């Protein structure tokens, strides 16, 4: 829901950072892999209940996720790069709630499982429509420079980052935050399935 707004805010600083990385001969795919590696380090930080460290690592991961796209627009958008980016993004999104579950399984297991379950819904509806939109040549006018169709919804990347930040700041309330956000994700999934089916039909 907020991605179209947040993109306008961060576009210029990401473009500036991408130009500096390009001059240093750093590629978009290298940035994607580096960001994913940093994001994976958030998992042991969460398990050890080092929530501030985990928050920093999550934010660095998300900055890299913005930079790799900005770099790709300079160096040339590729299907391989888009595939790598979206695959590692969804793995990262699932890794964060899993870290909270391992840190405190007695309190967080059910809510964490529900949140990951909800991510399956948003992820599959997003990717399934992107495949069909690609086959039909359907383009999203808001996200013209993406390697695949970005289907909007109530919970997008910006909201997910906000949820992760909130979880790190208030880990004792993980279960409540995870369930509320999971419900919002299922609203996104259902609306995407409905609108996607109507569009393709």
Q: pLDDT truncated to tens, each residue of the chain (201 aa)? A: 665 666 667 778 888 888 999 999 999 999 999 999 999 999 999 999 999 999 999 999 999 999 999 999 999 989 899 899 999 999 999 999 999 999 999 999 999 999 999 999 999 988 888 888 777 776 664 445 555 566 677 788 889 999 999 999 999 999 999 999 999 999 999 998 988 888 888
Please give the Cα distance from 197 to 28 (Å, whole number).
Answer: 33
Predicted TM-score (pTM) of this structure: 0.86
Exposure on the CB side of residue 198, measured as CA atoms within 13 A: 6
Q: Is residue 159 within 8 Å of 189, Cβ to Cβ?
A: no
For the structural domain made of 3-200, what CATH number should be given?
A: 1.20.120.1760
Exposure on the CB side of residue 44, measured as CA atoms within 13 A: 4
Please give the Cα distance from 175 to 107 (Å, whole number).
Answer: 7
Q: Is residue 107 within 8 Å of 172, Cβ to Cβ?
A: no
Nearest Cα neighbor of 182 from 102, 100, 105 is 100
Sign of CA dihedral 43, 47, 48, 52: positive
Tokens (6 digits) for 123:
């992820």
The DSSP letter of residue 171 is G
Domain ranges of the chain: 3-200
Q: Is residue 191 within 8 Å of 126, Cβ to Cβ?
A: no
Q: Is residue 152 within 8 Å of 85, Cβ to Cβ?
A: no
């Amino acid at each position: 829901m907020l991605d179209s707004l947040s993109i306008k805010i961060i576009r210029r600083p990401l473009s500036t950072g991408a130009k500096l990385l390009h001059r240093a001969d750093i590629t978009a795919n290298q940035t994607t892999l580096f960001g994913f590696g940093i994001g994976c380090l958030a998992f042991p930080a969460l398990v050890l209940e080092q929530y501030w460290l985990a928050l920093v690592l999550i934010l660095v991961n998300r900055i890299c996720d913005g930079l790799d796209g900005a770099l790709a627009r300079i160096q040339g958008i590729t299907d391989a790069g888009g595939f790598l980016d979206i695959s590692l993004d969804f793995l990262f999104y699932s890794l964060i709630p899993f870290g909270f579950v391992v840190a405190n399984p007695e309190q967080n297991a059910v809510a964490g499982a529900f949140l990951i379950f909800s991510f399956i819904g948003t992820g599959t509806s997003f990717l399934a429509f992107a495949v069909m939109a690609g086959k039909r040549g359907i383009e999203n006018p808001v996200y013209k420079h993406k390697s695949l169709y970005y289907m909007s919804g109530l919970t997008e990347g910006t909201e997910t980052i906000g949820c992760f930040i909130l979880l790190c700041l208030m880990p004792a309330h993980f279960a409540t935050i995870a369930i509320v956000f999971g419900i919002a994700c299922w609203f996104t999934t259902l609306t995407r399935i409905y609108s996607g089916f109507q569009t393709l039909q």
